[in-house]
Amino acid sequence: MLVPLVVIILGLITPEPADAARGGRIGGGSFRAPSMPRSRSYSGGGFGGGYRSGGYGGGYRGGGFGFPFIIPIFGFGGGGLFGLLILMAVAGVLVNAFRGGGGAPAIGGGSPIPAVPSKVNMIQVQVGMLASAKSLQEDLRRLAASSDTSSSSGLQRLLQESTLALLRQPDLWVYANAEIGSVPFTSAESTFNRLSMNERSKLDAELTSNVGGQSISSASASVGEADATNEFIVVTLLVASTATASLKSASTGEDLRQTLRILGSTASTELLALEVIWQPEGRGDVLSAEELLTAYPNLQHL
C-alpha cells in the first residue's frame, strides 16, 4: 500500500519553475559496480549478489528477502520532494522483494562479478548567494569548459573545485539547505535521475552544459552576467556516494562550511554520480527573492 500512496503524493507535488532564469549544468557518473573475482562464497549471514537483468540479488542463505533490507534514512529534514523520492525508491525495492521472495542463488565459477554496495547515499546541498558573487558564475563556466566529466577522477575534481568555489565566498551566503537519504543500490540510478530532473525543471534552459563528457554551449551572446536587478544566484550540488562520512546540516553558516568541506573530500572511488546545477546563467536573467523561495521552498535563511 505504501507505493501507491507515495505515487499519489508525488503527483500532487510538482516543482514550480523559475520562469525568468536560465542556468547551467555540469556532471556525470556511472552506477556500474566495480568487478571483483569470484573467489569467495557469500554465505553465513553475508550479503552476496551480482548483476542480473539490470539489478542484483543477494541476502542470507536459506531464504528470506533477496536484498539488503534498508530503511530510508533522512538527514537534516529530508522533507519535500527529495524525501518522497527517497521513500518511493525504498518502497519499490520492498515491493519487488515481497513479490520475488527467495534468497540468492549459489555463486560459482571464476568470472568477475560486480562488488555491489548495499546502499547509496543521495546528498543534495543548495546554496543561495547574493548576485554580487559574479566570480562564482565565472568559476562554474570555467569548470564546465575544462572538467573531464566522463571519468571518476574528473568528477572528483569537479566536486572539489565546486565546493571550494562556494567556500571562498561565505560572506555572500544567504540561504542554504542540505538533505541526505539512503537508497538500495538497485534503485540508486533511477532515484538520482528523478532528483536531477526535479532540479533541472526549475531552469528555463541550460545555456552551459558538460555532462558525461559531452559539452553543449549556446550562443555566446546568451551566456553572461545576469541583469543588474538580479538579487540571487543559487547552486545545487547533487551527489550519489557510497561514503560513510557524517555530514553537518546547513542551518548555520558554520554547518554549511563543514558540510561543503566534507562533501568536497569525497574520494573518487566513493563517488558514483555528481551534478552541479546553477541559475541564473543567461545575460539579462533575473532571480528575485520571491522566485528563489518559490523554486527552492526548503531553503533556510542563514
Convert the pLDDT of each residue in 61-99 to its tens digit. Answer: 333 333 333 444 445 555 566 667 677 766 665 666 556
Residues 122-150: what's their mean pLDDT? 93
> What local confidence, expressed as pLDDT, does residue 116 receive?
74
Query: Which amino acid, 5?
Result: L
pLDDT, one tens digit per residue, over 175-220 is: 999 999 888 898 899 999 999 999 999 999 999 999 999 987 665 5
The secondary structure of the chain as a DSSP string is: -HHHHHHHHHHH--PPP-TT--EEEEEEE--PPPEE-S-S---SS-----EETTEE----SSSS-SS------EETT--HHHHHHHHHHHHHHHHHHHHH-S-PPPP-SSS-EE---SEEEEEEEEEEEETT-HHHHHHHHHHHHH--TTSHHHHHHHHHHHHHHHHT-GGGEEEEEEEEEEEEGGGHHHHHHHHHHHHHTTSS-EEEEEETTEEEE--TTTBSPPPTT--EEEEEEEEEE---PPPP-SSSHHHHHHHHHHHHT--TTTEEEEEEEEE--BTT----HHHHHHH-TT-EE-
pLDDT, one tens digit per residue, over 148-185 is: 999 999 999 999 999 999 999 999 999 999 999 888 89
Angle between helices 80-100 and 2-12 (to 10 degrees): 150
> What local confidence, expressed as pLDDT, does residue 176 receive?
96
Half-sphere exposure of 115 (CA within 13 A, CB side): 10
Extents of the domains making up the chain = 17-32+118-301, 35-114
> What local confidence, expressed as pLDDT, does residue 252 receive?
93
Residues 24-48: what's their mean pLDDT? 58
Lowest-pLDDT choice from 93-107, 133-147, 189-203, 267-281: 93-107
- In this structure, what are the phi and psi dihedrals at residue 52, rounded to the nearest 5 degrees? -150, 120
- % of the chain at pLDDT higher than 70: 63
When pLDDT is cut at 50, 70 and 90, the band that residue 132 belongs to is confident
Rounded to whole angstroms, how far apart are CA atoms 202 and 25?
Answer: 12
Task: Provide the mean pLDDT of the chain.
Answer: 76
Task: Tell which wins on pLDDT, 131 or 25.
Answer: 25
Rounded to whole angstroms, how far apart are CA atoms 196 and 203?
Answer: 12
Which set of grid coordinates corresponds to residue 162?
565546486
Residues 271-278: what's their mean pLDDT? 97
Residues 135-146: what's their mean pLDDT? 92
Residue 144 pLDDT exceeds 70: yes
Rounded to whole angstroms, how far apart are CA atoms 76 and 93?
Answer: 24
pLDDT, one tens digit per residue, over 87-96 is: 776 666 566 6
Please choose, from the candidates 161, 116, 177, 114, the residue with its C-alpha nearest in 3D space to the C-alpha of residue 266.
Answer: 161
> What local confidence, expressed as pLDDT, does residue 70 receive?
40
> What local confidence, expressed as pLDDT, does residue 157 receive?
97
> What local confidence, expressed as pLDDT, does residue 117 receive?
79
> What local confidence, expressed as pLDDT, does residue 93 receive?
58
